[in-house]
């Protein structure tokens, strides 16, 4: 008859987590590429119509009224902003991806591998990070965190997220 230690901690049978349970982290180059590509996409959809409007529409109409180029350019700028916002919210809600992240097959997930909510991505990764960005050198420190072992920027750590291959 085996002797049972009444003072031993309780035992439990724990199943190991499969090695492929979590997706592979996205590379630094893919993350940088997605950031640059997102900036180019936003610029083309929003700033380009605005710059064209400013470039061609600064002269007032001959009769002192509104220049039609300004009106049309403003409408194109607004349409671009609405289209960019709709696409971004759609992709982030569906799979934690911006437009460029979708094109580069990477996405944002929680640190435990579960999907990241739109509110977590918007508030913690963007708004809080944007406010912290007003602190001098914060942007550099945030970006340099990517060179750590976990490949998480500071805004990833704040939001408890990581970028993985899709």
Position 111 confidence tier, pLDDT thresholds 50, 70, 90: very high
Question: Reduced to 3 states, what is the DSSP secondary structure of residue 62?
Answer: coil
Distance between start and end Cα atoms, the chain: 54
Expressed in percent and rounded to 5, the helix, strand and coil fractions of the chain are 55, 5, 35
Q: Please state, in angstroms and rounded to a whole number, the distance separating the CA atoms of residues 122 and 112.
A: 19
Q: Please state, in angstroms and rounded to a whole number, the distance separating the CA atoms of residues 92 and 129.
A: 17
Position 4 confidence tier, pLDDT thresholds 50, 70, 90: confident
Tell me the per-residue pLDDT of 30-42, one tens digit each, with 9 for 90 and over: 999 999 999 999 9
Q: Please state, in angstroms and rounded to a whole number, the distance separating the CA atoms of residues 91 and 100.
A: 10
Tell me the per-residue pLDDT of 130-156, one tens digit each, with 9 for 90 and over: 999 999 999 999 999 999 988 999 999
- Find the mean pLDDT for residues 43-64: 79
Is pTM, for the whole model, over 0.85?
Answer: no
């Amino acid at each position: 008859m085996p002797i049972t230690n009444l003072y031993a901690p309780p035992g439990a049978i724990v199943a190991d987590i499969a090695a492929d349970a979590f997706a592979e982290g996205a590379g630094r180059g893919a993350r940088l590429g997605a950031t640059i590509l997102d900036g180019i996409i936003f610029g083309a959809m929003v700033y380009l119509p605005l710059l064209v409007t400013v470039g061609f529409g600064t002269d007032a109409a001959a009769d002192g009224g509104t220049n039609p180029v300004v009106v049309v350019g403003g409408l194109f700028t607004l349409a671009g902003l609405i289209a960019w916002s709709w696409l971004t919210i759609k992709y982030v809600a569906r799979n934690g991806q911006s437009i460029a992240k979708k094109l580069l097959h990477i996405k944002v997930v929680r640190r435990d591998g579960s999907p990241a909510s739109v509110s977590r991505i918007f508030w913690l990764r963007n708004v809080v990070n944007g406010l912290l960005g007003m602190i001098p050198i914060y942007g550099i420190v945030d970006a340099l965190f990517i060179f750590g072992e976990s490949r998480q920027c500071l805004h990833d750590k704040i939001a408890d997220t990581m970028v993985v291959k899709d």
